[in-house]
Amino acid sequence: MTLIKPHGADALNPRIASGQRLADLREEADGLLSITVSSATAANAVMLAAGYFTPLEGYMNRADALSVAKTLSTTQGLFWPIPVLNLVESFSGEPGDRIALRDPNIEGEPVIAVMDVSAVESLSDHDMALMTLEIFGTQDPEHPGVATFNGQGRILLSGPIEVLNYSYFQSDFPDTFRTAVEIRSEIESRGWQRVVAFQTRNPMHRAHEELCRMAMDDLQADGVLIHMLLGKLKAGDIPAEVRDDAIRTMVDHYFPANTVMVTGYGFDMLYAGPREAVLHAVFRQNAGCTELIVGRDHAGVGDYYGGFDAQTIFDERVPEGSLEIQIYRADHTAYSKKLDRVVMMKDAPDHTPDDFVLLSGTKVRQMLGQGIAPPAEFSRPEVAKILMDYYQSLDS
């Protein structure tokens, strides 16, 4: 059985150290110049370590960062949708140094990686503005991704890294955090060939659940990888441990055995809409998936992106053959009162808005906070109970 090839390589390139090499790096790091990096940089290290960013070996330099931002390709021609950067506010070293990168997300800021500094470059206001606009489609400082990106500093350190650990993800989410290497291995052990990935930073309601079923049926897939983001989110988003509980409960109650893998990955949400959807495709291909579900406003926030921009970018900006993974395009899904099931709204042209059970996120949060379960057509009661308990705990 041959799984889909990783992106740009014949095999995964996880940048994690182990065994004697890990022991040697830990000892060496004690004597190196060390800097505490941003959460975004630490998350990039985790993704490099886990093989999700195959074939990259480390952080991009200015030329590659600008090339990726403008053309979705490195200067060497590797297709890549979003720059992978280590931005800092100050740096006392120089090119050629080996340095230790410290993790801001763990008490005591332990070393997460050792880096060979290939270049130290200052980014201009123009560089930052160009990358911000290309990546996020806006320069609005109220956009959470824009604010995070522009708050890290302007000094760009590039070069390969070796990673010592997976930050807090492995310890905080031992049952859920999985590397691309581990997911590929499990897909093989299950005997799956066609695997559809579902990306989520939210709990899954009935529409999400049914969308996974629709994709499985339409594609005749062997299984679904529900792959949840475990890193930093914007204020107001539901914490990973609550989402994890809700999703596992839904899968345990409503999916047949050996059809779903519930896993998570260690990355901070960018809220970059279309560009992030393409990045999601890259690391799902690296994890061994053959298709990725891309729905309405995938990876979006607020009103910054059109409803289907994350689908059309694959037609407009992803050259033929750049990715082996395919996209399963989903419309808005909702429960049809007429048909007594969840449907894609585009497949029900004879319906009026009143024929669907439609609730805004704000309305759902209000109901849950008041201890009111959303309609069963919208959310499974077992899931609603977990979310009600969470929202009510915020008020107590």
**CA dist., res. 124 & res. 130, Å (int):** 10
DSSP 8-state code for residue 17: -
284 contacts 325 by C-beta, under 8 angstroms: yes
**pLDDT digit string (tens) for 344-369?**
988 888 999 899 988 777 788 889 98
Residues 8-35: tens digit of each pLDDT: 999 999 999 999 999 999 999 999 999 9
What does the pLDDT read at residue 123? 98
Quick check: 325 and 285 in contact, CB under 8 A? Answer: yes
- Tell me the per-residue pLDDT of 106-158, one tens digit each, with 9 for 90 and over: 999 999 999 999 999 999 999 999 999 999 999 999 999 999 999 999 999 99
Residue type, 271: Y
How many other C-beta atoms lie within 10 A of the C-beta of residue 21?
12
Going from N- to C-terminal start, the domains of the chain cover 19-170, 176-395
| CATH superfamily, region 19-170 | Sulfate adenylyltransferase (3.10.400.10)
Report which of 327, 322, 230 is spatially closest to residue 277, judged by C-alpha positions.
327
Residue 169, CA distances (Å) to 47, 187, 232, 380 in order: 11, 21, 11, 28
Bridge partner residues of 121 (DSSP): 156
Number of C-alpha atoms within 13 angstroms, CB side, residue 247?
29
61 is catalytic: no
Active site residue 201: yes
Statement: residue 163 has pLDDT above 90 = yes
Q: 223-229 and 260-265 as β-strands: parallel, antiparallel, unpaired?
A: parallel
Q: 154, 190, 194, 201: which is the annotated catalytic residue? A: 201
* DSSP summary character for residue 248: H
What is the pLDDT confidence band of residue 330, given thresholds at 50, 70 and 90?
A: very high
CA distance 43 to 172: 15
Query: Parallel, antiparallel, or unpaired for β 119-122 and 155-163?
Result: antiparallel
Nearest to 136 by CA among 309, 284, 311: 309
Q: Which residues contact 55 (CB under 8 A, 6 or more apart)?
A: 6, 7, 8, 9, 13, 78
- Six-digit token string for 159: 């070069």
CATH superfamily of 176-395: HUPs (3.40.50.620)
Cα torsion 144, 165, 279, 141 to 10°: value is 10
The pLDDT score that the predictor gives to residue 1 is: 67
Residue 320, classed as helix, strand or coil, is coil
